[in-house]
Structure 1
Amino acid sequence: MELEKEMTKEFRNGFTQDKKNLAVQKSAVRNGIHESCQTVEAAVSNVPVFSVDVEVGAVANQKASGRCWMFAALNTFRHKLLKSHNLKEFELSQSYTFFWDKYEKANYFHENILKTANQEVTSREVSFLLQTPQQDGGQWDMIVSIFDKYGVVPKTVMPESVSSSASSVLNSYLNKKLRKDAMILRRLVKDNATEEEIAATRKQMMEEIYQILSVSLGTPPETFDFEYRDSEKEYHCVKDLTPQTFFKQFVGINLDDYVSVINAPTKDKPFNRSFTVDMLGNVVGGREVKYLNVDMETFKDLAIKQLKDGESIWYGCDVGQSSDRKAGIMAMDTFDVENLFDVDFTTTKAERLEFGESLMTHAMVLTGVDIVDGKSTKWKVENSWGDKIGDKGFFVMSDEWMDEYTYQIVIKKDYLTEEQLKAFNEEPIVLAPWDPMGSLA
């Protein structure tokens, strides 16, 4: 259909002759879309008080970086550490895990470039790899692979740098480097180079990656002393720790006890089946990214059980949807955009996934839930955007918003039924690299 001038003139006349349109236009042009249709109802029904509330301390701040997934994981560890070691405030080093994730992602990219070296550079797989060779985001199983291999350290041992807090420049140079690496590796394969020649080239490439990361982020410690005072002001000092021994002694979590559970109600993903995503990961030889897909009632029931036992939950959602960042409210009625525009935006969760309208964009931590007459009504969320937003950095998520825009939680295996655990342990269905459930938080 060609857009003819007469048709557009008809639209203009229809718009300008409606006094309601002119009124909302004045408001939206001057104040903005969301500010012109923000509701009172969302704030009234999402007061930050919860019947189940896990004590977790103050929030952290990922600043201008995409490290929410590792902040969320490290925060769940911090919650345990604060309680077990009688600490008032404490943070694990996000810069340390950031360094090793970048390092491993570069090698993982090289691996996938070699696996696809015989495909045309315009193939969907190669194009997908080259579009973003590496980025800040990740999945739960990817951060577990980093913890398993490299352990963790206190933030005092490897503090933040400019490039960890604001990562865009570092990312631009890493991706520039990796795309050049891809050209070189593909040419070696085309020229029938030996495995030894390719391995030698990859080693040199990884040395250069290490150089970039060390200059930008600092060199990760191999050993360190951990000094701290507990809540009773008692001094403690543990000497000659490695990142691995620190994890074992101070965090003390068996990461194999936890699994990722998703809610993806699309036809290609039956419930009570396990899934993985092709070419998704960071550590070659590390933990496979794997999910159990369940219906939303089961999803929330698992989360409630873990919260009731006093354990916070890593979770992934589409945080930008119907979300008031300043007030810290995620609710379906936060903004009355449909009445503002007089347009119906209604779609189902499955339709949004299938048509690219929604996917997991952010990871946070569930720390509470309000239960009325046996049903959840709202959820408490620990974000990693500092304490100047929401309720000192904490958000309130309505139960309906949870249904529509939450996609993943990490749950202790103990809460799964035998049938669910069996389904998780089965050989997973492999999803395409660009499947929405392969998105990185």
Structure 2
Amino acid sequence: MAHFSLRPYVAASLLLAGFQGAQAQDYLVNSLSKNQSANSKDSFVFTDVINIENTPVKNQGSSGTCWSYSANSFLESEMIRLGKQPVEISQIYTARNAYIEKGKNYVRMHGAITLGDGGALHDVINMFRQYGAIPQSLYTGLNYGTANNKFAEMQEMAKGVLEAAVKNPNGQLSPNWIKAYTAIIDTYLGTVPQNFEWKGKKYTPQTFAKEVVGINPDDYVEISSFKDHPYYSQFVLMVPDNWSLDLVYNVKMNDLTDIIDNALKNGYTVGWAGDVSEKGFSWKNGVAYVPEKEFAAMTPQEKEEIFKGPKAEMQITEDLRQAEFDNYNTTDDHGMHIVGLSKDQNGKEYYIIKNSWGATNDYKGYLYMTKAFVKYKSTAILLNKGGIPKDLAKKMNIKQ
């Protein structure tokens, strides 16, 4: 089948730069903004079924940090679910720590692993466990005179140090390469405060994570769905941004939406990672679906009206999902946060998705994504294991 995507740029850039590299994000947002129909919002009537409380929409700027923004937004909703006062967690503190660990892996792997801004949802959980957390107001990452994230220069500087270390010109690595690399990251993002005051009390990043955020990293699991691995077991998700080679649980395609539905109905939000470089995805219009007809086969009028009201969708199968991934037509180019469930005027269900591109679209930073799109284009979801249906948790041998 023909693929509805902006693939020529994505394949060359997003796979290398990660979820939303600095240049890749600018290109992708601009391209998706053009992918729209006039007055689309007037053609959809959404009625919320579930809308779980979440913190305000953020803007990741020109940085490949959607994974950190989306998964930290997810943790902030977890704080609300647990009855805590939510705090905006520093997304760039999380990213900074991931960059340090990624640099170590890059040198250990002789440069044969992904580098750059990109990451995975589980990176936020891993960095929270290892490094703790800091309020965003105390670590903004804006240490170089910009109003928003702009990481391209930093990444190029850091890459140069790592590549020099991999070349090993002395014949034996000194302990100073990691100091030099860390110094570049901290020069651009800011030195990490080892102690800080928050609401009249002193904390370290570790004590702040434990006492204020108060989540248990062991309560969170990442799940995907691919036919080439045994179902209900774990496997290494083979995407470039899984630089830490973490394991994810594998379930059947329809299980993905069953798990999300169960989580939402029980008050849990869900982190989402997947491919948004599709003709059926429009950030401007705030709608994502899978058109029934191939875009190339549409008439000019059909193309013009692609987002003008609800449309029929393609039937998604596990074979189709697997083929899209194997052919690089599904890539892990973005991360977002599922916060609810809605229905259009025809009764079709859509997930309410919180993005990190600012409140710049028709729905002020949110969008509506069909279940077919989720089945087709998800690479992974992240959630509290308490949100998984009990029968599926048992099949995966997950203790709730």
Determine if the TM-score, normalized by the shorter chain, exceeds 0.5. Answer: yes
Which position in structure 2 is the counterpart of 1:273? 233
What is the TM-score when the length of structure 1 is the normalising length? 0.70
1:226 corresponds to: 198
TM-score calculated relative to the size of structure 2 = 0.76
| CA–CA distance in structure 1, aligned partners of residues 262 and 107 of structure 2 | 41
Query: CA, structure 1 residues 41+349, in 2 after alignment: closer, same or farther (shift >3 Å)?
Result: farther
Structure 2 contact 264–340 (Cα < 8 Å) conserved: yes
- Matching of residue 71 in structure 1 with residue 69 in structure 2: yes
Contact 2:260–2:270 under 8 Å retained in 1: yes
CA contact (8 A) 1:39 1:333 kept: no
Aligned match for 1:326, one of 284, 303, 314: 284
- 102 and 424 in structure 1: CA distance in 2 versus 1, 3 angstrom threshold: farther
SS at match of 1:165: coil
Q: How has the CA–CA distance of structure 1 residues 47 and 168 changed in structure 2, closer, same or farther, with 3 Å as cutoff?
A: farther
Q: Does 1:51 align with 2:49?
A: yes
1:251 has 2:213 as partner = yes
Q: How does 1:132-151 map to 2 (within 5 A)?
A: 132=114, 134-151=115-132
Structure 2 match to 1:231: none
**Pairing 1:299-338 to 2, within 5 Å after superposition:** 299-321=256-278, 322-333=280-291, 336-338=295-297
AA aligned to 1:339 is M
| Cα distance in 1 between the residues matched to 2:32 and 2:206 | 47
Q: Which residue is 1:290 aligned to?
A: 247
* SS in structure 1 at match of 2:136: coil
Q: Distance in 2 between matches of 1:155 and 1:36?
A: 32
What is residue 306 of structure 2 aligned with on the other side? none
8 Å CA contact 2:139–2:192 kept in 1: the answer is: yes
Deviation of residue 48 (structure 1)? Answer: 4.0
| Cα distance in 2, alignment partners of residues 33 and 103 from structure 1 | 32
Provide the residue aligned with 1:233 in structure 2. none
CA distance in structure 2 between the aligned counterparts of 1:34 and 1:212, rounded to whole angstroms: 33
CA distance in 2, matches of 1:43, 1:333: 18
The equivalent position to 1:339 in structure 2, one of 278, 282, 298, is 298
What does residue range 173-184 of structure 1 map to in structure 2 within 5 Å?
173-184=157-168
Residue 406 of structure 1, CA deviation: 1.8
Amino acid at match of 1:150: Y
Which has more helix, going by share of residues?
Answer: 1
Q: Separation in 1 of the partners of 2:397 and 2:78?
A: 26
| Kept in 2: contact 1:34–1:337 (CA 8 A) | no
1:160 aligned to 2:131? Answer: no
Aligned mates of 1:72, 1:139 — CA distance in 2: 10
**Which residue of 96, 108, 133 corresponds with 2:105?**
108
Matched, 1:263 2:225: yes
CA distance in 2, matches of 1:205, 1:394: 42
Shift of 1:417: 3.9
Contact 1:315 1:365 in 2 (8 A): yes
C-alpha distance in 1, partners of 2:264/2:299?
38
Q: Deviation string for 1:353-397 (max 9, x for gaps)?
A: 11111222111000011369xx97211000011112241100110
Q: Structure 1 regions of 5+ residues with no counterpart?
A: 1-31, 114-125, 189-196, 228-236, 426-441
Q: Which ranges of 4 or more aligned residues in structure 1 deviate by more than 6 Å?
A: 32-37
Write out per-residue CA displacement over residues 21-78 of structure 1, whole angstroms, 9 at most, x where no aligned residue.
xxxxxxxxxxx99899855897577544320111213211111111011111111122
Other-structure match for 1:365: 337
Match for 2:70: what amino acid? A
CA 1:169 to 1:273, structure 2 compared with 1: closer, same or farther past 3 Å? Answer: same
Partner SS, residue 350 of structure 2: strand
CA distance in 2, matches of 1:97, 1:36: 32
Q: What one-letter code is carried by the residue in structure 2 that aligns with 1:260? A: E
Match of 1:61 in 2: 59
Aligned equivalents of 1:57 and 1:331: distance in 2? 25
Gaps of 5+ in 2: 1-29, 304-313
Does the CA-based 8 Å contact 2:72-2:124 persist in structure 1?
Answer: no
Change in CA separation of 1:50 and 1:149 when aligned onto 2, cut-off 3 Å: same
Name the structure 2 match of 1:242.
Answer: 204
Corresponding residue of 1:217: 189
The structure with more radius of gyration: 1
- Report the Cα distance in structure 2 between the residues aligned to 1:263 and 1:332, rounded to whole angstroms: 18
Q: SS at the partner of 2:271? A: strand
Contact 1:51 1:369 in 2 (8 A): yes
Partners of 1:86 and 1:318 in 2: CA distance: 33
Matches within 5 A, 1:3-152: 38=36, 46-81=44-79, 84-86=83-85, 90-113=87-110, 128-129=112-113, 132=114, 134-152=115-133
Query: Whole-Å Cα distance in 2 between the matches of residues 361 and 160 of structure 1?
Result: 22
CA contact (8 A) 1:42 1:331 kept: no
RMSD: 3.3
Distance 1:424 1:111 in 2: 33
Cα 1:397–1:107 change in 2 (3 A) is: same
CA apart distance, 1:412: 2.5
Asked whether the equivalents of residues 121 and 335 of structure 2 are also in contact (C-alpha less than 8 Å), the reply is: no
For residues 104 and 420 of structure 1, do their structure 2 counterparts lie closer, same or farther at Cα, with a shift above 3 Å needed?
Answer: same
Hey, what's the Cα distance between the residues in 2 that align with 1:253 and 1:105?
24
